[in-house]
Amino acid sequence: MYHNILVPISFDPDRDVSAPLKLARLLATPEAKITLLHVVEQIPSYAITYMPADYMAEARAALESELSALADTLPNAKGLVIEGHSGRSILDWAEQNNPDLIIIASHRPGMQDLLLGSTAAQVVRHAGCAVHVVR
């Protein structure tokens, strides 16, 4: 059983967010702290000029609302939205907050993942705690 669980959440259409949440519920102690973390990748400066001025604020508010709704389904859970590169930001957050388990969803790897590496693969390779990958 784990006391401090990090669950990175991706809202990509091919990702199932229910499986990591179910696993977090199963592996958490009754007093466990569960953090649902979503990383917003930065939009390149050349592209941001073509977007409405309030786009980022509205997108962040929508993500925070969605994470809050997901967190309400788990005991002692909270949602958190941060900015940065997904893999590196998850690892940095974990280093600062010391979870004893990271539960991360992964897609079926393709050829591009062999060359570039997926977020889940990066977390598995470099995390300082247990990592459970859910497909």
Residue 133 has pLDDT above 50, yes or no: yes
Structural domain contains residue 59: no
Per-residue b/e over 9-46, b at no fewer than 16 CB within 10 Å? bbeeeeeebeebbebbeebbeeebbbbbbbbeeeeeee
Q: What domain count does the chain have?
A: 1
Ordered DSSP codes for 20-33: HHHHHHHHEEEEEE
In angstroms, the CA 46 to CA 90 distance is 26
Give the pLDDT of residue 109.
Answer: 62
Interval 102-115: pLDDT, tens: 999 987 666 555 54
Closest CA to 83 of 103, 104, 59: 59
Structural domain contains residue 4: yes
Structural domain contains residue 101: no
Average pLDDT over every residue of 60-67: 96
Domain region containing 78? 1-9+16-52+72-82+128-134
- 66 close to 15: Cβ distance less than 8 angstroms: no
Interval 92-102: pLDDT, tens: 999 999 999 99
Structural domain contains residue 117: no
Interval 18-44: pLDDT, tens: 999 999 999 999 999 999 999 999 888
Q: Which residue has the tokens 């709704």?
A: 69
Q: Which residue has the tokens 């941060």?
A: 82
- 100 close to 131: Cβ distance less than 8 angstroms: no
Average pLDDT over every residue of 52-77: 94
Token pair belonging to 131:
């990592």
* pTM (predicted TM-score): 0.91
In angstroms, the CA 52 to CA 69 distance is 26
Structural domain contains residue 108: no
Average pLDDT over every residue of 37-66: 90
Angle of helix 119-126 relative to helix 86-97, nearest 10 degrees, comes to 30
Structural domain contains residue 30: yes
Residue 6 has pLDDT above 80, yes or no: yes
Structural domain contains residue 20: yes
